[in-house]
Amino acid sequence: MRVVLSNSSGVPLYQQIKEQVGTAILSGELAEGDALPSVRALARDLRISIITTTRAYTELAAEGFIATVPGKGAYVLPLDSALVREQLLRQVEDGLQTALDAARRAGLQRDDLIQILDGLIQAERHDAGSGVPSDSGAVR
């Protein structure tokens, strides 16, 4: 797992770490039982404060992604299906909000957005029928 931080993104560093680790867990890049870097090692590697990495790990633990064992480190917990669904819904909402903001700047109306979404769904169905891998099975 690789964590990349941006000081200019406007997103707090601990939040960037939390989101990237959470995404790695949800995608399966980090599996149940995998050990995470220690708070100190991650802080050293990223050249940030231990307080920042501690906050990221604390929030990941509070959200049920990881467990921290004093003296042993942090480990990925089994994914709770309700948790996974909630996280994925949040990603969908964030993506749709980004698309809505761009559509508003482009002067698109509701019907335009629905037409674009329908076109994307149709293209995905076509790709699925032709053997091209698709990322989403839920929309079909």
Residues 67 and 87 placed together within one structural domain of the fold: no
Residue 25's pLDDT is 92
7 domain residue, yes or no? no
> Is 47:40 a contact under the CB 8 Å cutoff?
no
Phi, psi of 137 (to 5 degrees): -105, -15
Count of domains observed in the chain:
2
Residues 90 and 121 placed together within one structural domain of the fold: yes
Q: What tens-digit pLDDT sequence spans the chain (140 residues)?
A: 899 999 998 999 999 999 999 999 988 999 999 999 999 999 999 999 999 999 999 999 998 899 999 889 999 999 887 877 887 888 899 999 999 999 999 999 999 999 999 999 999 888 877 665 545 444 44
Residues 66 and 104 placed together within one structural domain of the fold: no
> Is 60:98 a contact under the CB 8 Å cutoff?
no
CATH at residue 33: 1.10.10.10
Residues 57 and 95 placed together within one structural domain of the fold: no
- pTM beyond 0.85: the answer is no
> Is 43:52 a contact under the CB 8 Å cutoff?
yes
111 domain residue, yes or no? yes
44 domain residue, yes or no? yes
Domain that includes residue 57, residue range: 13-76
136 domain residue, yes or no? no
8 domain residue, yes or no? no
List, in order, residues 6 or more apart from 7 with CB less than 8 Å away.
13
What is the rounded distance in angstroms from the CA atom of residue 109 to the CA atom of residue 133?
Answer: 31
